[in-house]
Structure 1
Amino acid sequence: MIKKNIAISLPCTGEDEWLAIKDPIVSGWLTQGVKVNEFENEFAKKHGVKHALATTSCTTGLHLILVAMGIGPGDEVIVPAFTWVATANVVLYCGATPVFADIDPKTNNIYPSEILKKITDQTKAVIVVHLFGLCADMRSIRKYLPSHIKIIEDAACAAGASYHGVSAGGLGDAAAFSFHPRKSITTGEGGMITTNDTYLAEKMVKLRNHGAEVSEEQRHLGPKPYLLPDFNLLGFNYRMTDLQGAIGLVQLQKLERYVKERRYWADYYSKQLKDVEWIGIPEVPDGIVHAWQAYVLYIYSEKSPLTRNEIMEVLQSKGISTRPGTHAVHMLNYYAERFGLASQDYPNAKLCNDNTMAIPLHNRMEADDYQYVIDVIKGLKYL
Structure 2
Amino acid sequence: MEKRIIPISLPSMGQEEWEALKEPIFSGWITQGPKVKEFEELFAKRHNVKHALAVSNCTTALHLALVALDVKAGDEVLVPAFTWVSTANAVMYCGATPIFVDVDPVTFNINTDSILAKITDKTKAIIPVHLFGLCADIDVIKQIAPQLKIVEDGACAAGAALNGQPAGSLGDIGCFSFHPRKSVTTGEGGMLTTNDDALAERLNMLRNHGASISEEQRHKGPKPYILPEFDMVGYNYRMTDLQGALGVIQLQKLDQFIEEREGWANYYHQELGKIDWLRVPRYSDKYKHGWQSYVLFVDESKSPLKRNDLMEYLQQHGISTRPGTHAVHMLGFYKNTFNIDEQDYPGAYQCNEYSMSIPLHNKMTELDYQYIVEILKQIK
| Inter-partner Cα distance in structure 2 for 1:267 and 1:160 | 18
The residue number in structure 2 matching 1:248 is 247
Give the superposition deviation at 1:286.
2.1
Give the superposition deviation at 1:227.
1.1
- Root mean square deviation of aligned Cα: 0.5
Secondary structure at the aligned position of 2:127 is classed as strand
The residue number in structure 2 matching 1:139 is 139
Secondary structure at the aligned position of 2:115 is classed as helix
| Inter-partner Cα distance in structure 1 for 2:129 and 2:263 | 23
Query: Could you report, residue by residue, the CA deviation over 1:11-48 in whole angstroms, capped at 9, with x for unpaired residues?
Result: 00011000001000000000000000000000000000
The residue number in structure 1 matching 2:160 is 161
The residue number in structure 1 matching 2:207 is 208
Give the superposition deviation at 1:213.
0.7
Secondary structure at the aligned position of 2:95 is classed as coil
Give the superposition deviation at 1:148.
2.4
| Inter-partner Cα distance in structure 1 for 2:202 and 2:139 | 28
Structure 2: which amino acid aligns with 1:193?
A: L
2:118 is the alignment partner of 1:114: no
| Inter-partner Cα distance in structure 1 for 2:189 and 2:39 | 12
2:94 is the alignment partner of 1:80: no
The residue number in structure 1 matching 2:9 is 9
Structure 2: which amino acid aligns with 1:148?
A: Q
2:254 is the alignment partner of 1:259: no
| Inter-partner Cα distance in structure 2 for 1:340 and 1:182 | 32
Give the superposition deviation at 1:380.
1.1
| Inter-partner Cα distance in structure 2 for 1:343 and 1:178 | 28
2:194 is the alignment partner of 1:195: yes
| Inter-partner Cα distance in structure 2 for 1:284 and 1:111 | 14
The residue number in structure 1 matching 2:51 is 51
Secondary structure at the aligned position of 1:129 is classed as coil
Q: What TM-score does the superposition give when structure 2 sets the normalisation length? A: 0.99
| Inter-partner Cα distance in structure 1 for 2:27 and 2:202 | 29
**Could you list the runs of 4 or more consecutive aligned residues of structure 1 that deviate by over 3 angstroms after TM superposition?**
none
Give the superposition deviation at 1:136.
0.8
Secondary structure at the aligned position of 1:238 is classed as coil
Query: Could you report, residue by residue, the CA deviation over 1:234-275 in whole angstroms, capped at 9, with x for unpaired residues?
Result: 000000000000000000000000000000000100100111
Q: What TM-score does the superposition give when structure 1 sets the normalisation length? A: 0.99
| Inter-partner Cα distance in structure 1 for 2:88 and 2:99 | 9
Query: Could you report, residue by residue, the CA deviation over 1:334-361 in whole angstroms, capped at 9, with x for unpaired residues?
Result: 1000000010000010000000000000
| Inter-partner Cα distance in structure 1 for 2:120 and 2:97 | 12
The residue number in structure 1 matching 2:221 is 222
Secondary structure at the aligned position of 1:141 is classed as helix
| Inter-partner Cα distance in structure 2 for 1:242 and 1:252 | 15
Secondary structure at the aligned position of 1:104 is classed as coil
| Inter-partner Cα distance in structure 2 for 1:12 and 1:227 | 42
Give the superposition deviation at 1:287.
1.0
Query: Could you report, residue by residue, the CA deviation over 1:132-163 in whole angstroms, capped at 9, with x for unpaired residues?
Result: 00001122111211x22101100000001000
Query: Could you report, residue by residue, the CA deviation over 1:282-341 in whole angstroms, capped at 9, with x for unpaired residues?
Result: 012121100000000000011000000000000000000000000000000010000000
Query: Could you report, residue by residue, the CA deviation over 1:360-383 in whole angstroms, capped at 9, with x for unpaired residues?
Result: 0000000010000000011111xx
Unaligned runs of 5+ in 1: none
| Inter-partner Cα distance in structure 2 for 1:148 and 1:349 | 26
Query: Could you report, residue by residue, the CA deviation over 1:112-131 in whole angstroms, capped at 9, with x for unpaired residues?
Result: 12111100000000000000
The residue number in structure 1 matching 2:35 is 35
Structure 2: which amino acid aligns with 1:31?
A: T
2:20 is the alignment partner of 1:20: yes
The residue number in structure 2 matching 1:279 is 278
Give the superposition deviation at 1:72.
0.5
The residue number in structure 1 matching 2:98 is 98
| Inter-partner Cα distance in structure 2 for 1:33 and 1:51 | 16
The residue number in structure 2 matching 1:336 is 335
| Inter-partner Cα distance in structure 2 for 1:178 and 1:361 | 17
Secondary structure at the aligned position of 2:48 is classed as coil
| Inter-partner Cα distance in structure 2 for 1:251 and 1:180 | 12
Give the superposition deviation at 1:214.
1.1
| Inter-partner Cα distance in structure 1 for 2:372 and 2:172 | 40
Structure 2: which amino acid aligns with 1:95?
A: G
The residue number in structure 1 matching 2:378 is 379
Structure 1: which amino acid aligns with 2:68?
A: A
Unaligned runs of 5+ in 2: none
